[in-house]
């Protein structure tokens, strides 16, 4: 359905609007400003606090639903709250940068191998690893452009 809407907009839409849509869909930090970063940071404080506070519950869910229920945990409530929290974080990231999804999918798994399985320990390394990976890609792209004497393309 979303693909059909994107195709419709690309066929009948205004060229300038279509260009902005394509840049957003591919993901870009071209229009980034410090004020946007501050708003994004303020928005993310709440969800990150919820995840940090529920990290022990999340560790307990790793043992399985039956074990968690046996220890008195309301698994459905915790899982539902974490799904909503994750959706808020993902929505904020997509609103800020577009669909730059690979870093968001790979960084948690790499961070888990680096710092261990405890969810409380993962709250800080995950975003830092994602940021470092993102900047590495930018610098690598810039080096390639310099090597072939190309200018930045927007």
Q: Are 56 and 120 in contact (CB under 8 A)?
A: yes
Rounded Cα distance, 65 and 75, in Å = 7
Verdict on whether the full-model pTM lies above 0.75: no
pLDDT of amino acid 154? 43
The helix/strand/coil state of 32 is coil
pLDDT of amino acid 78? 92
Q: Which residues contact 145 (CB under 8 A, 6 or more apart)?
A: 151, 152
pLDDT of amino acid 14? 77
**Host H or E run for residue 42:** helix 34-53
Closest CA to 131 of 46, 41, 69: 41
List average pLDDT for each run of 10 residues in the chain, which is 154 residues long: 71 75 66 78 89 88 89 91 87 72 68 80 80 76 69 50
pLDDT of amino acid 12? 75
pLDDT of amino acid 109? 75
Could you write out the DSSP letters of every residue in 50-82? HHHHTHHHHHHHTT-HHHHHHTT--HHHHHHHH
């Amino acid at each position: 359905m979303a693909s059909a809407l994107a195709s419709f907009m690309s066929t009948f839409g205004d060229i300038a609007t279509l260009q902005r849509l394509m840049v957003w869909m591919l993901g870009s930090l071209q229009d980034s400003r410090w004020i946007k970063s501050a708003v994004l940071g303020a928005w993310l404080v709440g969800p990150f606090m919820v995840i940090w506070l529920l990290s022990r519950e999340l560790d307990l869910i790793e043992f399985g639903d039956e074990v968690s229920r046996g220890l008195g945990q309301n698994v459905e409530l915790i899982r539902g709250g974490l799904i909503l929290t994750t959706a808020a974080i993902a929505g904020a990231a997509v609103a800020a940068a577009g669909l730059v999804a690979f870093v968001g999918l790979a960084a948690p798994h790499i961070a888990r191998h680096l710092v261990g399985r405890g969810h409380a320990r993962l709250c800080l390394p995950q975003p830092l690893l994602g940021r470092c990976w993102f900047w590495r890609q930018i610098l690598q792209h810039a080096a390639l452009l310099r090597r072939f004497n190309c200018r930045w393309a927007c």
